[in-house]
């Protein structure tokens, strides 16, 4: 089992469940804007993606049924690419969560919208993927599975990082390997440094391995294991650890303003952090709300409301 020794949150389950795969991913494919294509094609695609993510073994660890990572992928197909047969452009929203010890609460780990997905899909075609190379001769078909696998490894990496310091590195490296070996085509975006600013697949893994972001991993571990997981038993100590996490993230943000990694954290955690800060002393609010407002500009007004 993956988390023995890392957390007391999970107990050993029956031997019959030890071979369970890692992800419990709900998949939805929408294609409301697409005409002249049988809607059944996208329903078949939905089932194929679900099977690809949920039935594939992504790690060498044993997961029982209670340890599966809850996540979801929504693919919104927005257009058919001109002069390309069965090629679609889509937005993909990726979400994942992990349970908080001794509670029925799940904390959001990833809530990211990728607006650079293009792929070819013919109904009933097999979804193939290899960690080490692009599979097959159809680059646009390979881009779909490469993107799915990339986010599967990110989901695993962020989850493991929350249970052990730098615990997600192996999975972040696999995501990085996909970036390094990503399919190339003029219709494909999201894998290179110079594509649509820094909010893309390339920059996420770059930030994860850049030494300038080393404290991010420490902050993630502190936030989850020393903070959230202890909130039930020792709420005051837990909040202190979460405030220490905010200090660490603030230092990272000052050195790397508007980085995609800091945005990823607060897109997932903004609402949660706001609720935690609301329970802090006024002195702590006055200190930390300016820091949060600088890092999480989208929620700055919400933080400021906590001072009233």
Environment class of 196 (CB within 10 Å of its CB; exposed 0-12, middle 13-18, buried 19+):
exposed
pLDDT for 184: 87
Q: Is 198 domain-assigned? A: yes
pLDDT at 205: 97
Whether pLDDT at 211 is above 60: yes
Q: Is residue 104 located within the same domain as residue 169? A: yes
Query: At which of 186, 209, 232 does a domain end?
Result: 209
For residue 17, what are the contacts with CB-CB under 8 A and spacing of at least 6? 64, 65
Domain membership of residue 51 as a residue range = 15-209
Count up the domains in the chain and report the number: 2
Q: Is residue 63 part of a domain?
A: yes
State mean pLDDT over 76-95. Answer: 94
- Out of 34-43, 86-95, 193-202, pick the least confident: 193-202
158-188 b/e (C-beta count within 10 Å ≥ 16 → b)? bbbbbbbeebbbebbebbbbbbeebbebeeb
Domain assignment present for 254: yes
Does residue 288 belong to any structural domain of this protein? yes
d(CA 53, CA 147): 11
The encoded tokens of residue 279 equal 């329970």
- CA distances, 105 to each of 48, 98, 108, 251 (Å): 30, 9, 10, 29
| Per-residue model confidence (pLDDT) at position 198 | 85
Q: Which of 174, 209, 244 is the last residue of a domain?
A: 209
Q: Which residue has the higher pLDDT, 134 or 191?
A: 191
- How far is the C-alpha of 9 from the C-alpha of 229, rounded, in Å? 9
What does the pLDDT read at residue 82? 85
Instruction: Decide if pLDDT at 194 tops 50.
Output: yes
Judge contact between 190 and 147, C-beta under 8 A.
Answer: yes
Neighbours of 224 (CB within 10 A): 25
Instruction: Name, in order, each residue with C-beta under 8 angstroms of 184's C-beta and a sequence gap of 6 or more.
Output: 139, 191
Better pLDDT: 266 or 5 = 266
Where is the domain boundary, 176, 209, 242? 209
**Do 280 and 189 share a structural domain?**
no
- CA 32 vs. chain centroid, Å, equals 25
Sign of CA dihedral 165, 10, 245, 241: negative
What is residue 254's predicted lDDT score, i.e. its pLDDT?
Answer: 96
Question: Does residue 89 fall inside a structural domain?
Answer: yes
Inside any domain, residue 189: yes
Spatial distance between the Cα atoms of 144 and 225, rounded to a whole number of angstroms: 34
Percent of all residues in the chain with a pLDDT value above 70, rounded to a whole number? 92
Q: How confident is the model at residue 135 (pLDDT cuts 50, 70, 90)?
A: low
**Domain check: are 231 and 205 in the same one?**
no
Phi (first) and psi of residue 153, to 5 degrees: -70, -35
d(CA 172, CA 153): 6
Domain shared by 49 and 156, yes or no: yes
Q: Indicate if 79 and 223 belong to the same structural domain.
A: no
Q: In this predicted structure, what is the pLDDT of residue 3?
A: 52
Question: Do both 293 and 269 map to the same domain?
Answer: yes
Residues 261 and 280 in one domain: yes
135 and 197 inside one domain: yes
Number of H helices, E strands in the chain: 9, 4
CA distances from 288 to 63, 243, 278 (A): 38, 8, 11
Token pair recorded at residue 280: 């802090």
């Amino acid at each position: 089992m993956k988390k023995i020794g890392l957390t007391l949150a999970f107990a050993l389950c029956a031997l019959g469940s030890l071979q369970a795969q890692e992800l419990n991913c709900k998949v939805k494919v929408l294609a409301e804007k697409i005409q002249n294509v049988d809607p059944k094609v996208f329903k078949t695609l939905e089932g194929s993606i679900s099977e690809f993510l949920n039935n594939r073994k992504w790690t060498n660890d044993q997961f029982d049924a209670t340890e599966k990572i809850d996540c979801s992928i929504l693919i919104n197909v927005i257009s058919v690419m001109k002069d390309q047969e069965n090629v679609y452009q889509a937005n993909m929203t990726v979400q994942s969560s992990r349970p908080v010890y001794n509670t029925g609460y799940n904390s959001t780990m990833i809530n990211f919208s990728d607006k650079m997905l293009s792929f070819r899909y013919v109904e009933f075609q097999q979804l193939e993927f290899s960690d080490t190379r692009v599979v097959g001769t159809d680059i646009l078909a390979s881009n779909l599975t490469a993107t799915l696998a990339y986010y599967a490894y990110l989901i695993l990496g962020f989850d493991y990082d929350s249970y052990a310091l730098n615990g997600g590195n192996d999975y972040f490296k696999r995501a990085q390997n996909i970036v390094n070996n990503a399919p190339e085509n003029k219709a494909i975006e999201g894998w290179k440094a110079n594509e649509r600013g820094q909010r893309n697949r390339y920059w996420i893994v770059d930030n994860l391995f850049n030494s300038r972001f080393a404290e991010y991993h420490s902050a993630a571990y502190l936030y989850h294991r020393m903070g959230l997981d202890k909130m039930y038993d020792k709420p005051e100590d837990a909040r202190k650890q979460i405030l220490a996490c905010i200090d660490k993230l603030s230092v990272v943000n000052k050195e790397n303003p508007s980085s995609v990694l800091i945005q990823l954290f607060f897109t997932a955690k903004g609402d949660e952090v706001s609720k935690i800060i609301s329970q802090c002393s006024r002195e702590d609010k006055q200190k930390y709300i300016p820091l949060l407002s600088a890092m999480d500009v989208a929620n700055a007004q919400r933080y400021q409301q906590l001072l009233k």
